[in-house]
């Protein structure tokens, strides 16, 4: 752990410690976790994963928290209320403290972290989610996230955790690893491009690019589903004059009323995960040989917690 922390880091860490003392299952993920793991140098925002059942305790903690004397507020019209039904359905709640100041804490709360397999709660390390959880969440549309996922995958392999193979998205690095590091069959089944790396197949580079494109389409299409399903709610929030200058508790009550009327609790379940995956396959393979689909990963497991 670092000996000195910025005011923002101290604020975020203080929140986590208060929540832990209250028995709330939670962990820091995203950019701050990457800073902790030495993958990036700096970030000012905080991503927090929290058990949906603890939403009320988390809300009370955020309502009482001040940063340099400033109170917290909901951020963004599409920010879902911090309540179990919506957190469990994959919605995210967004918060910030202060406005126009030099430093502002920005907090995003996930109840079901996107693309994460297994139990993140069992893999927590101190105040932080583990490298696998963070790496899985990094499979987004943003190029920088793929480099960070690769760095985390390498750290996992160095620590003797074979799951690191799942998070490396650099063809040259995969070829180098194939020379010295064993890759279990179970991981090759989940991620077929690993077979190309082990066979030193010339198609590896293109297959990895296609895999990244596939994950990027999944992320874009998933967000599009939530944005579409949340449009009526977001419009109601933007028009609600009572939200201006309200306390966080008052904002929450108003957002909860709008959500009960206008915000579906399980958009991805209603859309269908199989349909989502098929749409991402089609977008990725547009204009290509359909046989290339055999090199795309099995991703149903990454969405299983949103359809139960």
Per-domain residue ranges for the chain? 7-131, 138-221+272-306
The residues, any chain, with a CB within 8 Å of residue 166's CB and separated by 6 or more, are 135, 153, 187, 190, 191
What tokens appear for 92 in the block? 């995210």
Q: Are 91 and 111 in contact (CB under 8 A)?
A: yes
| Whole-number pLDDT of residue 102 | 61
Question: Can you give the pLDDT at residue 100?
Answer: 55
- Asked whether the beta carbons of 28 and 16 are under 8 A apart, the reply is yes
pTM comes to 0.94
| pLDDT at res. 308 | 58
pLDDT at 42: 82
Check: CB of residue 232 under 8 Å from CB of residue 243.
no
pLDDT, position 103: 77
Identify whether the C-beta of residue 185 lies closer than 8 Å to the C-beta of residue 210: no
Determine the Cα–Cα distance for residues 27 and 16; give it in Å rounded to an integer: 7
Q: How far apart, in Å, are the Cα atoms of 109 and each of 83, 95, 106, 306?
A: 11, 8, 10, 16
Write b or e for each residue in 96-105: b if 16 or more Cβ atoms lie within 10 A of its Cβ, otherwise e: bbbeeeeebb
CATH code for the part of the protein at 7-131: 3.30.460
pLDDT recorded at residue 98: 80
From first to last of the 308 residues of the chain, give the pLDDT tens digit.
444 678 899 999 999 999 999 999 999 999 999 999 999 878 889 999 999 999 999 999 999 999 999 999 999 999 999 999 999 999 999 999 986 556 789 999 999 999 999 999 999 989 999 999 999 999 999 999 999 999 999 999 999 999 999 999 999 999 999 999 999 999 999 999 999 999 999 999 999 999 999 999 999 999 999 999 999 999 999 999 999 889 999 999 999 999 999 999 999 999 999 999 999 999 999 998 888 899 999 999 999 888 65
């Amino acid at each position: 752990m670092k000996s000195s922390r910025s005011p923002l880091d101290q604020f975020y860490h203080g929140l986590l410690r208060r929540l832990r003392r209250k028995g709330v299952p939670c962990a820091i993920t995203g950019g701050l976790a990457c800073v902790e793991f030495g993958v990036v140098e700096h970030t000012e925002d905080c991503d927090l994963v929290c058990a949906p059942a603890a939403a009320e305790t988390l809300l009370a903690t955020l309502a009482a928290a001040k940063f340099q004397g400033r109170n917290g507020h909901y951020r963004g019209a599409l920010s879902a209320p911090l309540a179990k039904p919506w957190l469990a359905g994959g919605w995210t709640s967004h918060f910030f403290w202060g406005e126009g100041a030099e430093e502002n804490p920005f907090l995003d709360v996930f109840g079901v972290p996107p693309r994460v397999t297994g139990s993140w709660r069992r893999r927590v390390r101190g105040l932080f989610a583990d490298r696998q959880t963070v790496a899985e969440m990094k499979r987004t549309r943003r190029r920088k996230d793929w480099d960070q996922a690769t760095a985390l995958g390498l750290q996992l392999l160095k620590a003797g955790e074979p799951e690191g193979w799942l998070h490396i998205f650099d063809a040259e690095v995969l070829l180098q690893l194939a020379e010295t590091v064993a890759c279990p069959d179970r991981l090759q089944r989940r991620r077929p491009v690993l077979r190309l790396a082990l066979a030193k197949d010339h198609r590896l580079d293109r297959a990895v690019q296609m895999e990244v494109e596939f994950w990027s389409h999944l992320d874009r299409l998933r967000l599009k589903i939530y944005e579409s399903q949340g449009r009526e709610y977001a419009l109601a929030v933007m028009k609600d004059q009572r939200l201006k200058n309200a306390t966080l508790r008052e904002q929450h009550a108003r957002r909860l009323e709008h959500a009960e009327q206008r915000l579906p609790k399980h958009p991805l379940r209603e859309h269908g995960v199989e349909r989502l995956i098929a749409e991402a396959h089609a977008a990725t393979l547009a204009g290509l040989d359909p046989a290339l689909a055999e090199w795309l990963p099995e991703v149903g497991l990454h969405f299983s917690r949103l359809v139960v």
